[in-house]
Amino acid sequence: MPDTFSAAALADQLDTQFHAALARRFFSLSPAAGLLAASDWALHLAVSPGKCMALARLALRQSEELAGYARERMTAGADPQLRHGVQPPAQDRRFAAPEWQQWPFNYMHQSFLLTQQWWAAATHGVKGVEKHHENVVAFAARQLLDVFSPGNQLATNPVVLQRTLQQGGANLLRGALNAADDLQRLAAGKPPAGTEDFVVGRDVAVTPGKVVLRNRLVELIQYTPTTEAVHPEPILIVPAWIMKYYILDLSPHNSLIRYLVDQGHTVFCLSWKNPGYEDRDLGMDDYLKLGFHAALDAVNAIVPKRKVHATGYCLGGTLLAIAAAAMARDGDARLASLSLFAAQTDFSEPGELGLFIDESQVNLLEAQMTQTGYLKASQMAGAFQMLRSYDLLWSRLVNEYLLGERTPMNDLMAWNADATRMPARMHAQYLRRLFLDDDLSRGRYPAGGKPVALSDLTLPTFMVGTLTDHVAPWRSVHKLHYLTTAEITFALTSGGHNAGIVNPPGHPRRHHQILTRPAGGSYMAPDDWLAAAPDVPGSWWPAWVQWLQARSGAPVAPPHVGARGYKAIADAPGSYVLEK
């Protein structure tokens, strides 16, 4: 019997090592997952003669349209009023410059858009193909086509060619120098150019405060009040551990934490440790115990006999929802309200991020993390970059390497480059129990050894979704409406996962929709909500502050910094946020 166990363990170890090697070879993407998706699509397309005939007819019609377009454009010259054969998608800015209306570049971009259109038809609507496989194949086709976009090539981009002629090739020289600098920084493990202008604690994360708690996983920062009186209920912010907390405390003009402090709130914020190999066995329960619950105990000691406005962002919001449901289950009434920003509680429709999460992909990541002890920041960054390949990759390559123009660094971009790692055990649990199995929304996720149910939540809840979120799509965030009958105020703001949250008042183009579903109210589907919610110009921050103040007591004297057992041990932003 021992020999049997030994042989099984050896076989498992061999498989793990081989899968980890595959992960390194294929940039942490499962080749098996890609092959399964491609074969599922190809086999079902091969036995769908009707679909094949429809695609053939589409190709013939497009060829005729393109030929007719070419004849018209050649005879019309540079007439900008002549129709386009295909209009690019509303979000496609690649061919907006007037130079693209000149022959032969107009023909090139029209041909490219028609090719995109054909592949979109070919990869969708093939009967029998599993939905996840369909999405993967369609995504892969878009990524491959983008490689050959005429806008991404020197010889076929009229804007680049015109700039090269005007500057005698100086733009290409600058681009080569930019590329050399980037490669040198990459080889040395240095951050992108310009990040040196945004030093944590000097330029960003500068709201005054003190670290009042430090354990092996978190530091807790208590911020210094700026008003003579504060609302008695403190705010505890739980940011995502996939990012540095100071996304919520960037420059003074766009710091949500500074804004809250200036509005008369006592604010506490968690700063997660950047884990290393020694933290490999930290799991979701540790993030609850050492993170949220340790912080809540500290806040209760510093501001005694007061309920807490608990606030979570992204994965921090998911963790907070788990913690709040467990507290409701156990009769723990220390929370006054719940605020969740771009945070999912139902993962049945996670959006495009789900393209990278299936059994094969998770198994490959688990094997790789078994050896490293954590998920590297670059692995997550690569996935997000592919989701927004034009904005984060191709437009940058064209601007910086072909046009020779460095994109000016800003605080949000510098923060985005300051990425974090995730412990192997926690990330595997997160991917399996939340993404793959959707245990939280189905009442199977355990906290404290017992499952939690989101239906137990009765706290008034403020939620924020962002219109162009690729990480936590707003319709997925909205799903909490049918998981609980609690009062929910939902705000849908312009912007994406980060820029929609970093949304200070005064921005001329920002707007949001907001609507409250009363406790016990009927469920309203996302599209119905979208039609019913009034549109409000400006930031959602003032609406949230008004919501908090309506659920807070009359202002009182600010609490002391720290308390017995929670003395101030360092100035904000602390030391964990500085770990690379």
C-alpha 50 chain-centroid distance: 39
DSSP SS3 for 387: helix
- Reading the block at residue 52, the tokens are 């094949």
Written as six digits, the tokens of 119 are: 């592949």
Based on the residue annotation, tell me whether 314 is a catalytic residue of this protein.
yes
Measured distance CA(559)–CA(234) in Å, rounded:
10
Could you tell me the domains of the chain? 8-73+90-149 (no CATH), 224-266+279-348+438-552 (3.40.50.1820)
What does DSSP say about strands 218-223 and 267-272: parallel, antiparallel, or unpaired?
A: antiparallel
Give the residue ranges of DSSP H helices in 373-478: 377-387, 389, 395-397, 411-417, 424-429, 474-477
H-only helix segments in 263-410: 284-286, 294-302, 315-329, 359-372, 377-387, 389, 395-397
The contacts of residue 320 (CB under 8 Å, 6+ apart) are 238, 292, 310, 311, 312, 338, 340, 343
Please state whether beta strands 218-223 and 308-313 pair in parallel, antiparallel, or not at all (unpaired).
unpaired
Residue 72 CA, chain-centre distance (Å), reads 44
- CA–CA dist 475, 346 (Å, integer): 10
Structural Rg of the chain based on CA atoms: 26
Tens-digit pLDDT string for the chain (580 aa): 446 568 888 888 888 888 888 888 888 888 999 999 999 999 999 999 999 999 999 999 999 999 988 888 777 655 555 566 777 776 677 888 989 988 889 899 999 999 999 999 999 999 999 999 999 999 999 999 998 999 999 999 999 999 999 999 999 999 999 999 999 998 888 889 999 999 999 999 999 999 999 999 999 999 999 999 999 999 999 999 988 999 999 999 999 999 999 999 999 999 999 999 999 999 999 999 999 999 999 999 999 999 999 999 999 999 999 999 999 999 999 999 999 999 999 999 888 888 888 999 999 889 989 888 998 776 666 666 666 666 667 888 999 999 999 989 999 999 999 989 999 999 999 999 999 999 999 999 999 999 999 999 999 999 999 999 988 999 999 999 999 999 999 999 999 999 999 999 998 889 999 999 999 999 999 999 999 999 999 999 999 999 999 999 999 999 999 999 999 999 999 999 999 8
Helix boundaries (H) for 211-307: 256-262, 284-286, 294-302
**C-alpha triplet 547, 549, 552: angle, nearest 5°:** 120
Helices 31-46 and 131-147: crossing angle, nearest 10°?
100
Query: Looking at the chain, how many residues does it have?
Result: 580
> How much is the pTM?
0.92
Print burial letters for 72-92: b (CB count within 10 Å at least 16), e (below 16).
ebeeeeeeeeeeebbebeeee
Q: Where are the alpha helices (DSSP H) in 31-104?
A: 31-46, 49-76
Q: Rounded distance, CA 380 to CA 549, Å?
A: 37
pLDDT at 1: 46
Q: Is 5 helix (H, G, I), strand (E, B) or coil?
A: helix
Peptide bond into 408 cis (omega under 30): no
Q: What is the pLDDT of residue 87?
A: 74
CA nearest 442: which of 354, 345, 341, 519? 345
Angle, helices 31-46/359-372, rounded to nearest 10 degrees = 170
Distances (CA, A) of 138 to 11, 129, 150, 160: 36, 12, 20, 29
Residue 465: helix, strand or coil by DSSP?
strand
- Residue 540 backbone dihedrals phi, psi, to 5 degrees: -85, -10
- Residue among 45, 314, 367, 434 flagged as catalytic: 314
